[in-house]
Chains A and B, each alone.
Chain A
Amino acid sequence: MNGQDPVAAFRVEAAELLDQIEQGLLDLGHRLDDRELVDEVFRGLHTLKGSGAMFGFDALATFTHHCESAFDRVRKGLVPATGELVAVILFAKDHMRALIEGDGAGLEAAGDTILARLRAAIEGAAGADVPAQAAEDARGGWRIIFRLPPDAMANGTNPLMLLDELRELGEARVVARTDAIPPLADLVPTRCHVGWEVELRTQAPKSEIEDVFIFVMDDMELTIEPLASSVEPSPAPQPELPEVETPTDVAAQQGRPTARSGEHVRVPAERLDELMDRVGELVIAQSRLSQLANGGVDVVALRSVSEEIERLSGELRDTMMVLRMVPVATLFGRFRRLVHDLARETGKAIDLVTEGENTEVDKTVVERLADPLVHLIRNACDHGLEPPEQRFAAGKPAAGVIRLSAHQAGGEVVITVRDDGRGIDRERVRAKAEAQGLIQPGQPIADQDLLQMIFHPGFSTAAQVTNLSGRGVGMDVVKRTIESLRGSIDVSSASGEGSSVVLRIPLTLAIIEGLLVRVGAERYVIPLAAVEECLELSLEEDLRSRGRSFITLRDRLVPFLRLREMFATGTRPDPYQKIVVIATGAERVGLVVDQIIGNHQTVIKSMSPLHRDVGTFAGGTILGDGGVALILDVAQLVAIGQQQEERLRAAG
């Protein structure tokens, strides 16, 4: 990490700053007169400008400077904060993100448009009597008087460069103001005591002169006034306000993969200290071990070192796991913006309430949860919540509430998305399912199963396809993503009261408890969370079920798969085969294995890309003897079992 690219470090930091600014702005949108929020946003913009300039993001610095100065007027109470202003600065923030991620090429036009809107918003907020900035432009030139802060040179500012830059704008007459130079005895040579007065003959507008001082402006004294001879107010040109394409812009921003931030994890220092302690202990244990290796064999000492190392590696693993955990707040934070934009788009009033933001989840899980949750929240906003008038008619408050909560339960994190909208229309779901041939007309079906229909590919009950959702690509993708995280998804809904979708995700993807089994000569791991029970497949039952591959388990038929045949091991079955019954949701399937070896805590290693087409395995793990065992993909196996069941059913 030592040789880290400073620009990359800046990008990470800037992304965090932008998030902070966004949160601040969103809060501000609700409490327009909150001074602290205004200050917070201003500070964020200010820091971004400063560090942007330091790392050579000049376009960003210039652009941010304009936003900052606009916001400065709010901060100083010259103009009130308005909803419009907040919305414009949110766009500006997106633009800043684009500037940070790209090289700024081709973005000037978009930036200018946003700045024009920003100016209009500020003017709109200030009322008509505030003179447009453009009116301050003087024809003949400017008198500029400036004095840098005393420590400017120590901070790397060279006043001569500033003067040179001014000269580039036109004919300049520079007079140094030496009145503030202290007596020689008090003079600190590294400080800047000289001020300057510049008469600049130029057509350049005031803003261009301000740009010269952009990086020192905040601490310096600067007055810019038109040259006396040429004060002739020019008619203020009406600033052009091209419409910014709101929805497409937003879509583009959201479509951009946010996963990039996933490459970095911020770790609290105390957790690193803990890790360091463990590593220190490990080094000591290692030296004890080498002493033992060099001296004679002392079994008791060897055993104690072995135990020591076992304890340490266990603790190291636990500490490491904790390092990868991040609070879901980072995830939830993103949705506030989403809901804000959705509310503007749909014209519904929507409040997002979040709970349990401090629940911690593995970093990779957080990243991969983002897209499914976006889908669910969009669905809730678009399908779930009714327009205000309907809500009013139903006796509900006008603003719909979307409740996003997270909590930990056992080894799982439970994330719930709940809305207080109209609920899922079961008649429509049924009609659609019948139209698609998923169920027979009039076929009785359990309520829960009916609701699960919405996870079928191509299933959408939206009568109209909107910009947001309703294209029927979504819920099935959500389900698949959650299952790939070894999680589950449940939906419940009460008509007129709203729906809720519950996601259960394992805390970490890196380690699972597994059941180690043997099939033929190879060993495999079945995730223990999916295992329901283990039975013996007796010889008679095996023979009897040759043709149909079903067992009866507590009055239910459960299909089973003979892994030995499936994996073509070419070995003879063990005399006492076992059936491991695994389940996802309500669907169960038995796996016939030769031997159950026992529990195995598994560090999951991913398969090579060359094996990605082999769907039956979710990964591999390394066993105690250094060999490799493959981890079975439960969802895939259950799907294969279901197909087999359907084939048999069709065959009668």
Chain B
Amino acid sequence: MLIIKNLHAVVEGKEILRGINLEVKPGEIHAIMGPNGSGKSTLANVLAGNKGYEVTEGEIWFEGKNLLDMEPDERAKEGVFLAFQYPVEIPGVSNATFLKTAINEKRKYLNLPELSPKEFLDMMKEKAKILGMDESLISRSVNVGFSGGEKKRNEIFQLLMLEPKLAILDETDSGLDIDALKIVANGVNVFHKDDNAVIVVTHYQRLLNYIVPDFVHVLYKGKIVKSGGKELALELEEKGYDWVTSNELETQSI
């Protein structure tokens, strides 16, 4: 589904990603972990097409298409979704209208008819229920006046509504208490099926108790320095990032 080859990216003149290689297949959940500044959020933003991040080398293939040739909205319509670390507030635009616009733009792109108001409303109600969202949030302006937890929940609500092929969660767990974390994780698990994939970007192992990854990758200084199964996350939690980063230093010094 997703193949990343030797990806290098620069932010404000500084090289943040320095040769990432990653392959994600349908049905898989990958966790990207790493200390602050290791390039986790950069990778998430590059995948979604944020122009603030410049790709200087490497390739990204999504479903056989060159992702780097696509505008952010094309990527979304092809099936890439980024749950933002800091969701943006849009005053005067209701959640419902925003989502209806996004869904119908995607359907237009895929040569599907627009959803009828009833279909859309039923879908909203069903997805909101999964996340225990108050229906009043749906008619409110996008993220305006939402608490940090409500914003994150709203990201997962958008994920469920847009039904992408690949979901990238950028620090979705930050700022969530344990109850909110469980609700958000449950939403992701409802979304996850054999034909789609999830990349969970996180600093802590906590979220991975609820969204269980098939693979864990440790990012350090813009490279994946270690990959393993879900037990790697637990090991990291126990031993700290120093454990892998010192390994990395050793391999570098050889």
Chain A bound to chain B: no
By a beta-carbon cutoff of 8 Å, the part of chain A in contact with chain B is none
By a beta-carbon cutoff of 8 Å, the part of chain B in contact with chain A is none
